[in-house]
Each structure stands twice: as C-alpha cells, then as structure tokens.
Amino acid sequence: MLDSRAQVANWYQDALQEFPQIEIPQILPSTTRMSWFVYVIRIKTTVDRDAFAKRMIENGIDVRPYFLPIHLQPFIAKQFGYQPGDFPITEDLGKRGLALPFSSVMRKEEVLRVCEGIQKSL
C-alpha cells in the first residue's frame, strides 16, 4: 500500500510542478519514507483558496481544506485563550492548505484529471 501511495504522490508531484500558483509538498532528503495518507497542496496567497476549491468541486473534483489550526479549534481556544494571530505561520498554512483526492488505488489518468481540474479552476 505504501508503494502504491508513493506512486500516486509522485504522479501529483510531477504534474503539479507546472502550476506557479500552487506549492507542492517538499520532502527533505533526510526523510526515510513518507506514508502519504493525504496529499495536500498550498495555494499561493494570490489565489483565493475557497473560491478555487468551489470551482474544483463545480468541475467534479472533490477537495477539502486540510486543517483548522488546533489553537483555533473552539475547545482549545476557549480552554487556553488562544486567538487568531497567536501563531501566524500555522494560521497561514491552515488558510492555504487543500487536500486533493488521494488513495492507493488511484490511476495515473485520475491524477491527471485532478490536475486538469486544477488548471481549469485557476
């Protein structure tokens, strides 16, 4: 399964390098192995991520914002008094992250279809 997931991630890595509005995951050379349970891109600040995601969904590509920073989750914010602005880097990543369709059984054609949807949606 790990090998299959790595192949899907590699297809995405290769295909998405042509889009300057997107940041793809960067793997450090010291990383021994990625599990690739999800493939998350970051949308550059020049593109409205939520509008982009809406266009992707309208084009038949299901995408999701990846995460809400933990310090802004309602329970944590209330319990510890965190507020927007406390961790600006984390908040920036949370605002720009978008999970693409990903599974160990995806075919290259499906990855390319997602990438075509990205091109249309940008």
Domain of residue 59, residue span: 2-21+38-121
What is the pLDDT at residue 9? 97
Q: Within a domain: residue 53?
A: yes
Domain count, the chain: 1
**CATH code for the domain of 70:** 3.90.1150.10
- What single DSSP character describes residue 113? H
Inform me whether the pLDDT recorded for 68 exceeds 90: no
Question: Is residue 9 classed exposed, middle or buried when 0-12, 13-18 and 19+ CB atoms within 10 A define those classes?
Answer: buried
Nearest to 101 by CA among 12, 10, 6, 33: 12
Nearest to 91 by CA among 65, 61, 58: 65
Question: pTM of the full predicted structure?
Answer: 0.89
Two structure tokens written together for 33: 């192995």
Q: Within a domain: residue 33?
A: no
pLDDT tens figures, 1-37: 999 999 999 999 999 999 999 999 999 989 888 889 9
At 108, is the pLDDT very low, low, confident or very high (cuts 50, 70, 90)?
Answer: very high
pLDDT tens figures, 49-60: 999 999 999 999
Q: Please check whether residue 24 is in contact with residue 16, taking contact to mean a CB–CB distance below 8 angstroms.
A: yes
pLDDT tens figures, 70-80: 999 999 999 99
